[in-house]
Structure 1
Amino acid sequence: MNPENPTTTPRIPVLIAGGGTCGLAAACELLRLGVPVRVLEAEAEPNKGSRAILLWPLGLDVLRHLGLYEEAVRRGLPLRALVYHLDGGRRLRSEIGAENQALLLPQDRTSALLEEELVRLGGRVERSVRVTDVTSDGETVTVKAQGPDGSELIEADWLIGADGIGSAVRQSLGVDFPGSSLPTTYLAAEGLIDGEAERGAVHYFLRSTGPMVYAPLSGEITRLGTPIAPDTPVTAETVQKLLDLRGPGGLQVRELHTLNTFGSQERIAVALRTGRTFLVGDAAHAHSPIGGQGLNLGLQDVHNLAWKLAGVIAGRLDPAVLDTYDTERRYAAQQTVGSTGRFTKMFTLGPKAARARNAGWRLLEATGVLRRRLIPLLAGWRV
């Protein structure tokens, strides 16, 4: 097939660019509401590894709405507490509580669950299909896509860009993505680590030797993340040294399945809606991973949009309702970018400032303020 003479396919109601977690959730929500969709994904295979590991109440509500909550709980591990480990062996423990219910579920399992539901609903992910251009005449969105069989022009009534932080949809539309890259480099490791660590808890080691997040997941898998200097060797030996230096002691790396580094950014697209196109998830906003907010924010984008879009397509709602998407989700994104930025600054303090922070946290925990304010904030009730 000649890429300069692409085939044209019949017009569809909704095209979703991106077959990750948010794109899958959008497809499932719309199909359940009777709206036909196509889902295009540039990658040939689903992403592996945990990436996001925490689903807070509002993210879980999306799975509950799709009838997937019980299966998600079966595949995950309920989060009971956040445990803060300070110098001198001191610990602060904040119980999550039923009202802030959360689930430790690696993102690849969340995506797998959603893709199974997508297939059950009659949909599928078209993989190795990359969006190369987006145009709109005000009545139709036309997407040019490149796949294994050549180039294709796809006409759709509506387009959802769920194609990640490097969104081809956002770039094709010329939508600016202002903000900045954060200076910290993080090492992420996942695999089998022997030693005692409470399960059903996320452990924050906030010591003068440096911070680390340590989270036992379902099965025997553990995920850890810690800031490192950019020139640090990314090896199992480095992970062990950092565990010994920053962790509780007595932990031994047996086998690592994932080992990499990543940075983070703080950005929000200047327009979350452009005509008949909407941006969701990382295509719309980016922020620090501290606090486990990203996937929850993206799933709520999807939930906010899907019922409105389905109502407009069915003629039940005035199209003006779609204007509320940008306003409502921009506010949520701004709140999340701000709060995760503050968490990151507290998490990455130097030794002297860290001692002052820890003294303050001990007071907040003793008076109950830490649980009353921090946990609901992480749970999404204050966004």
Structure 2
Amino acid sequence: MNEPVVVVGAGPVGLVLACELLQQDVPVRILDSSRGHSAHSRATVIWPRLLELLQRIGVSDVLAEEGQHIQGVTYSSNQMPLGTAWLNRLDSTPYPFAVGIPQTRTEDILERRLHELGGKVERGCTLTEIDTSGRLPVGRFVGSDGSTEDITASYLVGADGAHSTVRKLLDIPFDGDQLSVCFAITDAEVSGNIASDLVSYCYTPQGSLALGPLEAHVQRIAVSVPPGTQGESPEREFFQRIVAERGPGGIELGELRFSTTFHVNIRTAAHFQSGRCFLVGDAAHIMSPAGAQGMNTGLQDAVNLGWKLAAVARGQLAESGLRSYDVERHAAAHAVTRSTSLQTRWGFLRHPAQIALRDGIVRGADRVGVLQRRLAPKIGQLDATYNPVPVSRGEVRPGDRVPVVLGERHQLGGRWAGVSRDRWTVLMHAGRRRPDTWHRTKAAVCAAVGDLAEVLDAPSQSHGPLVDALGTRPVVAVVRPDGHLYRKLGADAPEAVAEAVRQARVDPSPTPKP
């Protein structure tokens, strides 16, 4: 690419995309209309799947060190416990925890990494026009001093939030609804009967309360409030009263770092791509804050688009393969929006029969282990898939996430295979027992694949995440740079493996069999 990728918006999503590209030697300019980070961010939790993906740009361990580890998500009703989905019992990820961290600190960490990779944020630059009449898009930016600059982009990406200028200038519809639901949020110092390593959802007939740790003695607090209070900034006494009414009891609030109220909007752009222009994050979709999934979903957008743009730049992916971004991420965002909307509605049940049914379902699911088997991976976004056919459990299928390490080449105690972050990986999985002829099998696959992909051995194990995902028998998995399965083939068909890699370089979307 002679011209840079232009990223509009320097929040977490835009910064991750810029780091993805710079790390793979793709020129980037990232511009933001604001002059600094907002102190009133809403995104505070980074779930396990995103810690996996952010290992690609080398920031996961820093986030884990600087943030507060979250071991699980617990639910209560009328101050009585219902059940807990434990992240620390997940065995299919090298990150069996979430990280509670203010968005401003996340942005600081990402911007430091951007600088290490040779990039910088150009602040005070407002996008006013996009010209798409030529082969390449041209964005007109106005600086804080009134000067203008026309920037020709190889690709232009809108990471500029829910009120995206890029989306509006491209005239992409942003349809959806404003729910009759309002939340008040604050970050507050707390003391008393509160876990510093759990996200807590507390349901009552009067409304819901969510508590999420940011530091040892600081919590993000979100409470449902009557519609019509948008824009207000409640005081400490308001939050203290709500926490006493809906929380586990014995919690005292100290100083508030900020507070605000907002309506819940659910909207999705009609499409995430228009020619050489793309939308990511809140510019593409906004959802209920229930479950703290919004920023994480946007970060998955950034990784999905980032590795594909870089692959096109290196000649490892046909430009037509970029169309898969819209298909994959539109469906993924829709799935997350459905689940967060359901959780929002569950927190607003008022009728005694409805409450009894909800509470009974959650208690029963906890008792028989469904919360742990199904809900914990969903909360952690470990069930992320680009396979259009829903399935509950079992071996991974084309499009499903493979439990591997993305980025740095370490195997974390021998349980994990590390796949390339900038190439396709052919993962040789010997199953529970490595056959005596395995070295010849690998040599045949290497000869067939050549330099189309990197061929790696998976650790041989009698049990563990890769055996659960790929099965007990020898197979070859063609894995994308983002850790999703493209195709799984027999180990005795090296030419078929090479052909699958060639097909993947044209269209990276999975091709599940009916």
Shorter-chain TM-score bucket reads over 0.9
Residue 358 (structure 1) aligns with: 359
- Mind listing any 5+ residue stretches in structure 1 that lack a counterpart? 1-10
| 1:351 CA displacement | 4.9
Aligned 1:287-306 pairs, distance under 5 A: 287-306=287-306
Question: Is the 8 Å Cα contact of residues 39 and 124 (structure 1) preserved in structure 2?
Answer: yes
**C-alpha distance in 1 between matches for 2:50 and 2:103:** 12
Shift of 1:22: 0.5
Q: Distance in 2 between matches of 1:343 and 1:138?
A: 45
Of residues 175, 179, 182 in structure 2, which corresponds to 1:178? 175
Distance of 2:328 and 2:45 partners within structure 1: 23
SS state of the match for residue 16, structure 2?
Answer: helix
Deviations 1:163-195 (A, max 9, x none): 001000000010111111121010001121222
Question: In the aligned structure 2, how far is the partner of 1:349 from the partner of 1:36?
Answer: 50
Report the counterpart of residue 6 of structure 1 in structure 2: none
- Structure 2 residue corresponding to 1:84, chosen from 57, 66, 75: 75
1:268 lines up with 2:268 in the alignment: yes
Report Cα offsets for 1:120-166 as digits up to 9, x if no partner.
11111111111111121241111111111322211111101100010
Secondary structure in 1 aligned to 2:290? coil
| 1:88 to partner: Cα distance | 5.7
Q: Distance in 2 between matches of 1:27 and 1:339?
A: 29
Higher RCO (Cα < 8 Å, 6 or more apart):
1
SS of aligned partner of 2:160? coil
Deviation at 1:339, TM superposition (A): 1.0
8 A contact 1:53–1:292 mirrored in 2: yes
Higher helix share: 1
> Quick check: 177-186 or 149-158, which moved more?
149-158
Tell me, yes or no, if structure 1 residue 204 matches structure 2 residue 196. no
- Separation in 2 of the partners of 1:290 and 1:238? 21
Structure 1 CA distance for aligned equivalents of residues 151 and 381 of structure 2: 37
What is the match of residue 258 of structure 1? 258
Structure 1 residues 102-137: Cα deviation after superposition (integer angstroms, max 9, x where no partner): 222222211111001111111111111111111212
Aligned to 2:18: 27
Report the number of matched residues: 373
Residues 304/55 of structure 1: CA separation in 2 closer, same or farther (3 Å cut): same
- Once the two structures are superposed, what CA deviation does each residue of 1:343-364 show, in whole Å capped at 9, x if it has no partner? 1111121152223311221111
**Matched letter for residue 84 of structure 2:** R
**CA deviation map 1:291-334 (0-9, x unaligned):** 11111111111111111111212333211111111111111011
What's 2:442 paired with?
Answer: none
State whether structure 2 residue 117 is matched by structure 1 residue 125. no
Name which one, 1 or 2, has greater alpha-carbon Rg. 2
The amino acid that maps onto 2:177 is S
**The one of 36, 39, 46 aligned to 2:37:** 46
> Which residue of structure 2 aligns with residue 5 of structure 1?
none
Change (3 A) 1:128 1:88: closer
Please identify, of 68-77 and 342-351, the stretch whose mean Cα deviation from structure 2 is larger: 342-351
Deviations 1:213-262 (A, max 9, x none): 01222242111101101356722211111111111222222100011012
Letter aligned with residue 124 of structure 2:
S
Consecutive unaligned residues of structure 2, counting only runs of 5 or more, are 385-514
Partner secondary structure for residue 185 of structure 2:
strand
Determine which of 221, 224, 228 is the counterpart of 1:224. 221
Does the 8 Å contact 1:47/1:108 carry over to 2?
Answer: yes
Shift of 1:379: 1.7
| SS of alignment partner, residue 174 of structure 2 | coil
Per-residue CA deviations over 1:265-302 (Å, capped at 9, x if unaligned) read: 21111111101101100001111111111111111111
Q: Matches of 1:14 and 1:319 in 2, distance apart?
A: 14
**Letter in structure 1 aligned against 2:142:** Q
Q: What letter corresponds to residue 167 of structure 1 in structure 2?
A: S
Amino acid at match of 1:366: R
Instruction: Give 3-state SS (helix, strand or coil) of 2:341's partner.
Output: helix
Moved more, 279-288 or 354-363: 354-363
Matched, 1:111 2:112: no
Q: 1:317 maps to which residue?
A: 317
Name the amino acid aligned to 2:178. Answer: S
The match for 1:98 among 72, 90, 93 is 90
Please state whether the residue corresponding to 1:12 is helix, strand or coil.
coil
Contact 1:197 1:216 in 2 (8 A): no
Cα separation, 2, equivalents of 1:104 and 1:213: 13
- 2:137 & 2:364 partners in 1: Cα distance? 56
Contact 1:59 1:295 in 2 (8 A): no
Name 1:155's counterpart in structure 2.
152
TM superposition outliers: structure 1 runs of 4+ over 4 Å? none
Aligned equivalents of 2:143, 2:331: Cα separation in 1: 36
Q: Distance in 2 between matches of 1:41 and 1:166?
A: 13
What residue identity is the alignment partner of 1:24? L
1:199 deviates by 1.2
Q: Pick from 133, 140, 144 the counterpart of residue 136 of structure 2.
A: 140
Residue identity over aligned pairs, in percent, reads 35
Q: Is the 8 A contact 1:40 1:129 kept in 2?
A: yes
Tell me which residue corresponds to 1:379: 380
CA distance in 2, matches of 1:46, 1:152: 23
User: Residue in 1 aligned with 2:280?
Assistant: 280
Q: Separation in 2 of the partners of 1:307 and 1:83?
A: 35
Are residues 264 and 255 of structure 1, via their aligned partners in 2, closer, same or farther at CA, if it must alter by over 3 Å? Answer: same
Report the secondary structure of 2:215's partner residue: coil
Contact 1:77 1:218 in 2 (8 A): yes
Name the aligned partner's letter for residue 380 of structure 1: Q
Q: Which secondary structure does the structure 2 equivalent of 1:264 belong to?
A: strand
Q: Measured at CA, do residues 308 and 231 of structure 1 come closer, stay the same or move farther in structure 2, by a change above 3 Å? A: closer
3-state SS of 2:30 partner: strand
The one-letter code of the counterpart of 1:285 is H
8 A Cα contact 1:138 1:276, kept in partner: no
